[in-house]
Structure 1
Amino acid sequence: MPNLRMILIEAAMIAGVLTTGLSVSQTAHASSLSVAVQAAATDPRTDIKIDSRIMVERTTESQSGEMVTTLLDPSTVKVIPGDTLLFINTYRNTGENTVTGFVVNNPVHSAVALVEVLEEWAVLSVDGGKNFGKLSELSVTEDNSVVAGEEEITEQTSRPAKASDVTHIRWIFASPIAPGASGDLRFRGIVK
């Protein structure tokens, strides 16, 4: 797979939000979003541009008693533990050629617990991006300490992975991306 274009997107701004109480947009100015591209300059896959943004989801009760969820620009609110964030990676083919073999890798920041990925075709990793699959196919190995008499023994156990165990999300585009085509790759997480 040496010809695959891998784009790594990291929302490092979340840590600053939690430790300083800054809004996401203020933190975004302080720490830039890092995007690393691995492809030759003549590769049409370099024509895919990605813009990333984060929205804060807040649910309130309307005057009629209905629960209403709104997306808020992070520059207008403080992000606090327990907030739901919607991560949106918008891609667009700005070139003149159809792009094939396109892959996007998105680490999930350690300050965020994944809730869901909105594209069913995404695959997930719970081991730092080494292995990917559907959540139902993944497991997590944990060290458990057991006291036997006066001795403490550490045992490793395995359990099915949960969304909150996810460390990376990968979208592998099965279909070509036509010139001018665009779309969104989205996931939700809760601030720890």
Structure 2
Amino acid sequence: MYKAVLPAMIVVGATSAALMPGAAHAAAGMQFASDVFVERFQPAPGGRTARILERADQLRPGDRVIFVVNWSGRKDGGFTVTNPLPRTIAFAGATDETQEVSVDGGRTWGALEALTVHDAAGRARPAHAEDVTHLRWRIPAPQALAGAGQMTWRGVVR
């Protein structure tokens, strides 16, 4: 079992600051609050399936998790949030079309289907979700001036 720990985030705007996981933090006038939820599915009446989200206290291999980062504050010119993935979590999909991923430690960015990785022999292959090392969101000026927002992503505990 793993304790639920959010990865550190880096916020870039007028200044950069590393954010510790698990609590609200101020960085250049911004505040962030993070949560991790375990996503479970169970049978429901009428042959349907119910989706249950439970706050994660401990994680087990195979758990499907949803990471939620709420932000508040106003920032002229927008800002960028970069989130390194913990090695114990495999990326399982974006929940926001503005999310970019990196498969090389944050050197290059794009949509997962547009990225490639190289094997030990130097051969390129299409990148897969388990290759993702970092996530990034660019919050444009109009949104940044709105005063609040939310970023989410899905993962699976390795």
TM-score, normalised to structure 1's length? 0.67
1:112-131 correspondence runs (5 A): 112-131=89-108
Structure 1: which 5+ residue stretches go unaligned?
A: 1-16, 144-154
Alpha-carbon distance change, 158 to 82 in structure 1, aligned in 2, over 3 angstroms: same
- 2:134 is matched by which residue type in structure 1? H
Aligned match of 1:82 in 34, 43, 62? 62
Note the aligned Cα RMSD (angstroms). Answer: 2.3
Q: Does 1:182 align with 2:148?
A: yes
Q: Secondary structure at the match of 1:178?
A: helix
- 1:125 is matched by which residue type in structure 2? S
Distance, in Å, in 1 between the alignment partners of 2:10 and 2:119 is 32
Distance, in Å, in 2 between the alignment partners of 1:160 and 1:35 is 26
Per residue, is there more helix in 1 or in 2?
A: 1
Structure 2: which 5+ residue stretches go unaligned?
A: 17-26
What's the offset of the Cα at 1:163? Answer: 1.6
Runs of 4+ residues deviating >6 angstroms: none
Distance, in Å, in 1 between the alignment partners of 2:53 and 2:102 is 27
2:122 matched to which residue of 1?
Answer: 156
Alpha-carbon distance change, 90 to 46 in structure 1, aligned in 2, over 3 angstroms: same
What's the offset of the Cα at 1:109? Answer: 1.0
Distance, in Å, in 1 between the alignment partners of 2:42 and 2:62 is 15
What's the offset of the Cα at 1:52? Answer: 1.0
Aligned match of 1:132 in 82, 101, 109? 109
Q: Secondary structure at the match of 2:140?
A: coil
Q: Does 1:191 align with 2:144?
A: no
Cα-to-partner distance string for 1:25-53 (whole Å, 9 max, x where unaligned): xxx5xxx865566628xxxx711111111
1:14 matched to which residue of 2?
Answer: none
Q: Name the larger-Rg structure.
A: 1
- 1:170 is matched by which residue type in structure 2? R
- Report percent identity of matched pairs: 29
Per residue, is there more strand in 1 or in 2?
A: 2
What's the offset of the Cα at 1:113? Answer: 0.9
TM-score, normalised to structure 2's length? 0.81
